[in-house]
Every structure is written in C-alpha cells, then in structure tokens.
Structure 1
Amino acid sequence: MDHLTPRLDDAILIQNVRVSAGGDRVRLHFSNLYGESELVIAAASLALLPKGDTNATEPKAQHTPLTVGGQRTFTIPAGQDAVSDAVDFPLPALSDVAITLHIKKAPATHSGHGSAPAVSRSFYRHAQSTTPDQYGRAPRWFFIHALDVATTATPRGAIVLLGDSITDGGVGPSSHLRWGDELARRLHSTGEASGIGVLNKGISGNCLLHKASNGPTAPDRLERDVLQQSGARWLVVYIGVNDCGQCGLSHEAGDSAPTAAELIATYEQIIDRAHTAGLKVYGATIPPFKGAGYWRETGEAHRKAINEWARTQGRYDAIIDFEAVLRDPTDPDYLAEKYDTGDFLHPSAAGFYAMAHAIDLGLFK
C-alpha cells in the first residue's frame, strides 16, 4: 500500500505481469484492501503480449474483457477484494500479460505492490488525455493481487515463496531474473515438473516478527498470501534477515527486540498452520549479511541460531540451504563476492541463478 502519486481518478492503467504456468482459463483478483474509500473500475481487460515485449503500452493483441458478477463496471468497497469471472484465455507458460484497467474512482491509498521493478512495467495516463500514447511509468502494481490460471490438463499445483526483498527481486526492470523466475524456468523445462506454478510473495523490507516490517508481518499475511492462493501445495519460507538486522540495531540502541527463540517460535507457527492446510513446507537458510548497514553481532547470532534450528530440528519437510550456496567459502560470514550486488545483502543475478539451481526439483513431485 502507499499514498504516493499518481492520482488515479479517471486513469488508464496498463500493468504487465508474467505468469509461470500456462493454462486455458484465467481470473483476476482485484484488491482495495488498504483503501479508505471505494474503488470504481469502469473496465478491465487482458491481452497476451508478444514474446519479449514486456514494456508495451496499448497492446496490439486482442483484449479479453473482464467482468465481476457479470458486470464490466464494478465497485470494490474499502477494505475488500473482488475476483473476476473466469474467462477463456489460452496462456502459454512463462508468458507476459497486459492487464488494462480504466480506474473511474480511486482511493488516496493504493492497494498493490510497491516494489516490483524487477518483474513488471506499469503505465498510466489520464483517460481524457489528448496525447493517448504518452504514459507515465510506475515501478509497482496497483489494485491487482493475483492472476489465477486454470488448465484442462492434470492440475500440478503451485509453489508459494514467502519472503522479503531477496525473493521480491531487484535485478532490473522486467528482467525476470529473480531466483523464483529461474526456478519457474527450470520447472517448465522438465517433463515431470512442468506445469507447476511459482507464486512469488516476496515483499521488500518484510519481516517475520519485527515491528519495522514493511507491510504485514509474515504470520499476519500467511492466510491471504499463502493459504488462500489457488492451487498452493508447497511453501518455501525464506524470510528473517531483516529481523536479524533490525534486532541487532534495537539491541544496540537499548530497545526491546524479539529474541532468536521468539523468531524460531514464529517459524514453527507458520509451519504448523501450513501443515494444517495440507501444504509441504520447506525452509530456506538465511545467507550471511556481514557488511550490510544493519549488521550487528546480536543479529548475526540470531541468524546462526535460526539456521542451526532449521537444519537440526526437523520441523521443515526439507531444507533449502541458500546459506551454503551464497556464502564466501574463505570467509563464510560474508556473501561470496561473485554473488554480491555490492551491498553485502542482496544477491546478484548470478546469485539468484545459483540459488534456483541449488533447489532439488524432486521436492515438487
């Protein structure tokens, strides 16, 4: 959510997104969860973008109109979501879709995703503009929560990635080089695992428990972002580095902060809730972040305690050891230089590639 410009009353929004698994029918989830007033959508449609054309405005492909309850114009009250009626829309795996919305009336607070430059291009213009080809750009999504893809083939299910900025991504505009993107490509290239979706639920700055979290904490968004996702069968929990960093800063300042034991108890709650919902739960270890601005000895101790618990206590159905993949073999408290963007925290494109290829695809059979 945010209060940032642009104002979107009577605006045309074109938001380009990539899907992981293909299918035959789709439905779009709209969100006004954080809006303080109603959201009125005058029209909505989908168009399949030509391969490689992720920056298109006014897509030349045929538009498929969307309706909610049979109505092309619909209102979403403050604090609520809506789901479009399902429509026939043949969609290849790893393809890009332009979602066009004519926003008639928008709340000042926009529900959406504010850190999507690596995966999306969003364009907007006033509906009555005399220069309809001139769009502003925004590195975020507005008012869309999920795009469900259904297939007449045997359902394969979806992997949900619950994470922070290292999952959310940040390699470059529309680059699709996050570790989740590469995982989707690997799955698609194999016969047995092809057709499995990858749902990226990373939020930059997000936390497991710490109050400095950007958006709801991981437990608070588990129901909506994981358990309610269509086809969810597997959950990868890869979050906690921001808690370790912020806890270190809080300890240094003499403020209260969650202990390692409290963080571990929160992971256990997530595991139990996901297991109750029938999901397999895989835990990813937290890679080193020494040198990052919020690194402190206390936070480092938290990180090592969490990783030790994850590897030894058997609460997860399996472990994905990103720490082992990304750490410097000569100085394991640091990221390997070849995988570091330079901030000692976020992996590079090479790091994301290595992470994706360290995952055993047999986990998703």
Structure 2
Amino acid sequence: MAQQVRGVVARRKGEPVSIETVVVPDPGPGEAVVRVQACGVCHTDLHYREGGINDDFPFLLGHEAAGIVEEVGEGVEDVAPGDFVILNWRAVCGRCRACLRGRPWYCFDTHNARQKMTLTDGTELTPALGIGAFAEKTLVAAGQCTKVNPAVAPQVAGLLGCGVMAGLGAALNTADVRRGDSVAVIGVGGVGGAAVMGARLAAAATVVAVDVDDRKLAQAEKLGATHTVNSRTTDAVRAIRDLTGGFGADVVIEAVGRPETYEQAFYARDLAGTVVLVGVPTPEMELKLPLLDVFGRGGALKSSWYGDCLPSRDFPVLIDLHLQGRLDLGAFVSETIGLGDVEEAFATMRRGDVLRSVVLF
C-alpha cells in the first residue's frame, strides 16, 4: 500500500524549497523502499533547485543518504528488509559493454526506480540523481542500495553517496595515487577535501591544497594536506612547483570545474604526470590549450565521474576503514539539521561556512 511521507520539494526554478506530502508507492520488481535516516546537503541539490541540471520540475531533492531497507519488490536478492544501506546514484546494469568487460564502474546503462513518487494530487516528482532522499522514505532501484556495517553513524555513511566518494575516488581510483607520490588538489571544498584525504590514505608524501578561502585551507590541513596555497594571493602553479622540487606534482586533482583552474592543474603537474578533473563544469565552459603542450608534456588527462567508484566494492571498505579509525569521514559533517532547515543550509553552503550540513530524521 502506498505511503505518504514528508519531503523537500523544489517546485519552480530558483524558488525556495517547501516541505510537501510525498506519495511513495509499493516497490515493484527490482525496487526497494528505504526509510531514510540521514541525508547530506550537496551543491547538486542546489543546482537542481536553480534549474542547472534540467527543467523537470518539481524535484524531490536529496541524494547523499543512508537508511534502512523497509520493503523490496519481486526479484530483489542483494538486499532485504532491515539492511542498513548507503544509497548511490549509479545502479550498474551488469549487461552493457563496460560491465561485460569487467569494468562495471564505467557502466553505460545505470538505472533508477521505474515507478514515480508523486505529490498527493498525482503530480510526478523527479528525484534528485534518481534518489530523492530529503524525505522520510524514498523509492529507489534495489541496485542503488549498498549494504554496509550498521555500526557506522548514518550521517557519516550517507556522505559516500556523492561528494565524499567523488573526492576519495578521484585520488584512489581515477588518479591511482601511489605511495610517495606528490599530489596537488585545486579547490578544497567537500569534494576536494575528500581528495586530500584520499591522497593521504594512499600514502602520498606531499599533498598541496589550493584554494582562495583560508577557512577551507585550514580544513584541508586537518584532512591531511601537508602544504596549503591561497591562489588569490599566490601563483598556484609556481607554488606547487616550488613544493615539488621544481618539477610539478605527480598528480593534480581539479575539484573546481573551471577552465582557468584546469589550466593551472595542467601546468602544475610534472612531465608525464596525471591531471584528474572531478569538478563539474557548466555547459558553456570551453578549454583552450596549446596542442603541442598536450603532446609534449605526456602523461594522462582524466575525468572522474563519481570517483570511478563501484559502490558494492568501495562503500563497505571505506566504512570499515572509518570504523577502524583510519579514515575520518566524520570530519566532513559540519552540522546536523532538520528537514525544515534545508533552505537555510543552501545559504550556509553558498557562504562557504560548512563542508556538509546533514539532515537527520
């Protein structure tokens, strides 16, 4: 029987969000209903509200979530009612050319729940990143549920659902940072800060954090940066080279998503070094680089989408590392808030006052 719950909805572009009654249908084949325990407030949710993703309003916001599986539909075998899970927005298909070649983290046919959640008048809602977890319960594809150790706090676990996993994965998966490497991270908000933490977890010898905000640089030091550079007052490329023996970093992770910072990353890497773009650009942005420099400097220019993660592989390991005291995921939780505080959390995020606000249910 369909259930009615409270959820945060963006009805129109640029308007403040509102708490609405959301109708959650019974799970169909391959689907699951999850009782949400915590959900982080991510920039992507704000992009949805501002119409920066698409115009499929109204949106049910929220996607960095963890909770308890309440019901599953026909054919679901990997999770069961009572399981504690992290929600992810890339349920792999197992059948596309990437999956069949043993590279499911590149799956080209990820999917969401087939049914739609609605408002009480029948208006269909578009769930943010196919999740919609600023709600007491949500309907997802069962493949979007990754079972992890229930000993972890929900407000910590949910952050792997998007930004923190994107940053950790950019360092650990995409860049494949190795012991003794030098790494620079340009832009150290939530995603960049997680890239800093990932680089240190991989035993990088030097980790340079670059930003224009001294507050974020101070946070990056707590997350493992060995050096910080304020690029508002210092030439970032020169500073990174000076800190790496004049050569440039083995890996530079760009977590801003702008042409000018990508150019900094390109020239701040060592010969044959790696640049990883994990910051998300907007559609109108263009990049211009001398092709001879691209050829002559060698190395690799990579993009990292969701940290090239495979949730079933990565989430349980990272949660276990956190529980062992080897990965302080809790450092990203700046504050916990209620469901009615999401609009204010957007304002707090815009001011750069937090790494993550997390809604607790």
**TM-score tier (shorter):** under 0.3
TM-score normalised according to structure 1 size:
0.28
Structure with higher helix content: 2
